[in-house]
């Protein structure tokens, strides 16, 4: 199994967890959810000796993609999103205005993620799981060999993503969590969109919003 380099850290404006995933052999990497602080994200990639080839997004709420344009400009990386969140992406200025946050120019995505799609980072593989509910196009990124999933704002430690924002649907997020995330290995670590990490087994046992059955 190829070693995976991972670094996760919170970025402004709303504390989104941005994750860098890299292949220790080829030094190719992806950036997941670059919400802000592009200079820091690029610095972290450089410190790790990684070359960013793709920018992956768990969904298109502004706080998860505002820095995508600057990252692309600096690296040439391909911007990836699920097509069902395109309208949210296009309305970045409206989203930012409603939250009182300065907007930023962000080009349209160039690649559309699909459910169960296998992605490659050098020799490392991950699977895109369509997990709608927080938004119509929410995606979780699963690395089965590493027992790791990046769940965006679908699942939190002891909580779940909001469904009262644009495109939110409680029934859909409940189904996504039960059928797509709770079916993963219980030892799978969960990188959440905000706040601390958790594990699938812990959430199945104690999450008060979505029970395992």
Sorted by where each begins, the domain ranges of the chain are: 4-206
In this structure, are strands 124-130 and 155-156 parallel, antiparallel, or unpaired? Answer: unpaired
Tell me the mean pLDDT in the region 42-68. Answer: 98
Q: Can you give the pLDDT at residue 24?
A: 96
- Domain at 4-206, CATH homologous superfamily: Ribonuclease Z/Hydroxyacylglutathione hydrolase-like (3.60.15.10)
Mean pLDDT of 153-174: 96
Cβ distance 18 to 35 under 8 Å? yes
Query: What is the mean predicted confidence (pLDDT) over 33-52?
Result: 98
Residues 31-52: b if buried by 16+ CB within 10 A, e if exposed = bbbbbbbbeebbebbeeeebbb
How much of the chain exceeds pLDDT 90, in percent?
Answer: 96
Tell me, what DSSP letter sits at residue 177? I
Are the CB atoms for 155 and 192 separated by under 8 Å? yes
The tens digit of pLDDT for each residue in 69-93 reads: 999 999 999 999 999 999 999 999 9
Write out the H or E segment, with its range, that includes residue 71: helix 68-75
pLDDT at 1: 66
Q: Is 124 helix (H, G, I), strand (E, B) or coil?
A: strand
For range 26-37, the mean pLDDT: 98
* Segment 197-203 mean pLDDT: 98
Q: Which residues contact 186 (CB under 8 A, 6 or more apart)?
A: 199, 200, 201, 204
Q: What is the mean pLDDT of residues 167-184?
A: 97
Residue 167: per-residue pLDDT: 86
pLDDT at 47 over 80: yes
pLDDT category at 3 given cuts 50, 70, 90 is confident
């Amino acid at each position: 199994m190829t070693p995976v380099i991972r670094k996760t850290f919170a970025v402004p404006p709303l504390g989104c967890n941005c994750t860098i995933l890299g292949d220790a052999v080829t030094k190719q990497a992806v950036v997941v959810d670059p919400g802000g602080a592009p200079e820091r994200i690029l610095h972290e990639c450089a410190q790790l000796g990684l070359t960013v080839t793709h920018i992956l997004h768990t969904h298109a709420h502004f706080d998860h993609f505002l820095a995508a344009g600057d990252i692309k400009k600096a690296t040439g990386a391909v911007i990836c999103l699920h097509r069902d969140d395109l309208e949210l992406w296009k309305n970045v200025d409206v989203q930012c205005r409603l939250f009182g946050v300065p907007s930023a120019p962000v080009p349209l995505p160039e690649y559309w993620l699909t459910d169960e799609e296998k992605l490659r980072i050098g020799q490392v593989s991950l699977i895109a799981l369509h997990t709608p509910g927080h938004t119509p196009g929410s995606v979780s990124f699963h690395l089965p060999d590493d027992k790791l999933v990046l769940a965006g704002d679908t699942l939190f430690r002891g909580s779940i993503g909001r469904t009262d924002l644009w495109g939110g649907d409680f029934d859909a997020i409940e189904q996504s969590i039960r059928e797509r995330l709770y079916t993963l290995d219980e030892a799978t670590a969960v990188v959440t969109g905000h706040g601390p990490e958790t594990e699938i087994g812990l959430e199945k046992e104690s999450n008060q919003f979505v029970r395992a059955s």
